[in-house]
Amino acid sequence: MSNHYNITNELQNIIKNDLEDISDITVQNDTVCFNIPRDQYVKTILESNLSGPTPPVLLQDNKNVLVEFSSPNIAKPFHLGHLRSTIIGNCIANINSFLQNKVKRINYLGDWGTQIGFIQMGMKLTNIDSTEIQTNPIKALYKAYVTAHKLAETDSTIGDRARELFKKLELGDSSTYKDWQTFKDYTVHELTKIYKRIGVVFDEYHWESMYNASTTNHIINLMEDMHLLTLDNMNRRVIPISEKRNIPLIKSDGSTLYLCRDIAAAIDRFEKNKFDAMYYVVDSAQRDHFSNLVQILNKMNIPWADRIKHIQYGRVQGMSTRKGTAVFLEDILNEVKEIMRERQMKTHTTKVSLDETDDSSDILGVSGVIIHDLRQRRMKNYEFNWDLILNMKGDSGIKLQYTHCRLTSLEHNSGAILTTECDPSLLQEPEVDDLIILISKFDEVVLKSYEELEPCILTVYLFQLSNAISKAWKTLTIRGQPTDLGEQRLLLFHTSKLILAEGMKLLGLTPLEKM
């Protein structure tokens, strides 16, 4: 059996120490090629993964990594655009953690700007009471925002009053501050429920308001001392990026713009975390914003500016429930959960109780939605497609869950006992080789996903692994076979299950044991 790895010379000794009898080692253009005795390779791969995959060794010291992702605005719908940021960012954070980097997950919520004034105006205009806000806060606050914004299209005084309300907030007005704090509290409470449902946990919640005018003064003063700021013809303080391009940071009334707050946030985060890399998982429409951020930090002679990486992604198109257009992700998740439960109720092979305590329908639905997204290349726009999400037989999240459940059931019901020692002479079928090669590629795939910041690489690999497991399932039967043969085949399927489960967890899925 031969294998090929893109590998540096530093790892040749590791290879030699891990596997004896390697022959014909050649190195060309940083690629090491070698031959390994087939049976020894099978034995090494199965026995070394008996307790699950271990993190591959990185060639540099473990990094201190910050990942900012999800980051919705308060009182705005959590839709599939936010979901893309959330699940891509979560996957990138998971892979970094698996590789033993020190990772901090940050959710940076938009709670500042004129939008807050529009929400407060809308609350007064629509007479939304506290009960409605407590029951469904994000939808209630969104209703208030939309109402005020629509009225402002024909009544300019609405916009003026909204801006005045926000200015009062910036100046510390107690009544305005109390309302704003209430909006934030309700929003976080509601978002936490959504994040729990899709299996995402944040280490820290940050707020845009943490970097308002009063807390960014020292940044502005530093820019002034460096003679970086000028006034434009609208009396805004701007920083020239080129001869023809000025970037506004401070509005004429003295309030800060979003970019100014992002500069302050980046500096604050480095001072507190000394990060080696900070990833902003934000759609490609914000490309110029993050380019400006890095350029301004460079102009300020910030030595770590190049450690900031904008992780771009494309848009989701055609987002809707099957009954019509949807604004909220919750509506999508509720519908896919309902469909999965109906399927489970109609299927005679369903192994779960489907009572109120069972969450398998929701996990299956979430898995379908997540994998529908992560199977795409990150920069690609894609169409939201119900048929692909719900596909049980093709490459989907539901198929990955089904494969994992089958393997779990096999361990419980095959009648064989799991052995810890591999006898490769009993594992000679081509299907064995297919699985062994895929299992051995897990580290390589994880590293490639890490280097390219591309979750689809791992997703496609898991599809390949799942399909190879299904193929082996048909020929490598266990029940009714001689004891030693059954034990060896169970070892092969057990190792495959552990690799599949670890990959699913890295993508943000919760592997089910029954469905």
Which residues does the annotation mark as catalytic? 76, 79, 82
Tokens of 465: 């692994």
* DSSP codes of every residue in 457-485: HHHHHHHHHHHHHHHHHHHS--TTS-HHH
Rounded Cα–Cα distance for residues 454 and 22 (Å): 32
Beginning with the edge strand found earlier in the chain, give each strand of the sheet holding 277-281 in spatial order: 204-207, 102-109, 64-68, 277-281, 308-311
* DSSP codes of every residue in 308-362: EEEE----EES-EETTEE---HHHHHHHHHHHHHHHHHH-TT--S--STT--HHH
Rounded Cα–Cα distance for residues 14 and 48 (Å): 15
Tell me if 372 sits within 8 A of 455, measured CB to CB: no
* DSSP codes of every residue in 232-276: -TTS-EEEEEETTEEEEEE-TTSPBPHHHHHHHHHHHHHHHH--S
Rounded Cα–Cα distance for residues 176 and 164 (Å): 11
SS3 of 282, please? coil
Tokens of 256: 């800060």
Tokens of 381: 């726009």
**Based on C-alpha coordinates, what's the Rg of the chain?**
27
Place of tokens 């938009």: 110
